[in-house]
Amino acid sequence: MKKLLASALAGAMVLTLGGCGGSGGDRPFEGQTLHLYNWGEYMGENLISDFEAETGATVKVDYFDSNEQMYIKVANGESFDVLVPSDYMIERLIQEDLLQPLDKSKLSNLNLLTDGVMGLDYDPDNEYSVPYFWGTVGIVYDKTKVSEEDLEKEGYNIFLDTKYKGDVYLYDSERDSFMMALKALGYSMNTTNEDELNEAYEWLLQCVQTMDTEIVTDEIIDNMAQGRKALGLIYSGDAAYVMSENENMGFYMPETGTNLWSDAMVIPKNAENPELAHAFIDYVCTYDAAMDNSSFVGYTSPNEEVMNELSGEGGDYEGINAYIPRTDNKNDEVFKYDAETRTIIAELFSKVKVAASNA
């Protein structure tokens, strides 16, 4: 999904990080092993080693590069103690009874998390999930080429403005590309109406056929940091990095709405060590772990103190609006899982990509 260099670390790769042997103190999980399944390049430099030193446990990490890849392993019965899926996939895992409810008595740090990322629609009582990172999707743009007046007037329809032909990136994500098109047309990104989905398909066809649009994945990050295009669709955490590297870059979220996303930690039903899983989840919520995570990866921390410190005066993301997700727009939505609609969108987006390659 939205992970820097995720594909380079994905697949069957396994990292084993043995306990660092912290000095003294109680190490309640000495000799035990936690199996973590996470996105590549999605953890702070010291997250695992510090947790091991504190608990005496060993952490084995498998990496995935898509929610669907993760789902196949879990659905086939492969055992992990902690997963970090995205919102809509968590909803699917709950529906299919593949997760176990959390024991809140073992989670003492939930009070450190900001209200904006708690109680989202996919798990309204956080019965199964604890936020790991969160953010939005918006438009990264070169302020020397694109006026905010155009962005405010056109919103996502700026991707159809021939003034910017040949200067546009579209992100290679069927969900977020259709989100953009649906929001441009004034529809919900969670629509199940086939007529609306087909209108969005036609909108995307126009985008790739008339705008000489380049469909990319994570290369958009470095490319926009280097000012190679005028604008593109991007995840907020990646936009924060781009803006920190190039002062000419801006981030805009149209008032018609966007995707408010969350990746969260969950415990599969067949986890072999749920006690240690709870300890890891609780640890990730702490200030030190959350600061390590967010300052290294660049995505927004759910820990409120960390979020405010990094975005505040002297913080790594001071003055960078992409770092703090928008939570006050009624048109913003969280993705919902719908198997039939997902199939339709996948088929239509495949046609969009073929049209783009032939344009």
Report which residue type is found at 49: S
CA 121 from chain centre, in angstroms, equals 16
Strands 82-83 and 33-39: parallel
The secondary structure of the chain in percent helix, strand, coil, rounded to multiples of 5, reads 40, 15, 40
Type of residue numbered 132: Y
Q: Which residues contact 347 (CB under 8 A, 6 or more apart)?
A: none
Q: What is the pLDDT of residue 140?
A: 98
Per-residue tokens: 112: 């450190």
| HSE value, Cβ hemisphere, 13 Å, CA-based, for 49 | 5
CB 58 within 8 A of CB 16: yes
Query: Phi and psi (nearest 5°) for 314?
Result: 85, -5
Three-class DSSP category at 131: strand
Half-sphere exposure of 359 (CA within 13 A, CB side): 21
Q: Please name which of 2, 28, 14, 34 lies closest in space to residue 268, comparing C-alpha atoms.
A: 34
**pLDDT of the residue at 104:** 97
Q: Apex CA 72: angle with CA 69 and CA 73, to 5°?
A: 95
Phi, psi (rounded to 5 degrees) for 6: -60, -40
**Measured distance CA(32)–CA(276) in Å, rounded:** 8
What's the whole-model pTM score? 0.89
- 68, 100, 166, 256 from 178: Cα distances, Å: 18, 32, 20, 14
**What SS3 string covers 142-172?**
ECCCCCHHHHHHHHHHHHHCHHHCCCEEEEC
Three-class secondary structure of residue 261 per DSSP = strand
pLDDT in tens, the chain (359 residues): 444 444 344 443 444 443 333 334 589 999 999 999 999 989 999 999 999 999 999 999 999 989 999 999 999 999 999 999 999 999 999 999 999 999 999 999 999 999 999 999 999 999 999 999 999 999 999 999 999 999 999 999 999 999 999 999 999 999 999 999 999 999 999 999 999 999 999 999 999 999 999 999 989 999 999 999 999 999 999 999 999 999 999 999 999 999 999 999 999 999 999 999 999 999 999 999 999 999 999 999 999 999 999 999 999 999 999 999 999 999 999 999 999 999 999 999 999 999 999 98
pLDDT number for residue 10: 41
What is the arrangement of strands in the sheet containing 58-64, beginning at the earlier edge strand?
Answer: 14-17, 58-64, 33-39, 82-83
Of residues 249, 167, 262, the one with CA closest to residue 211: 167
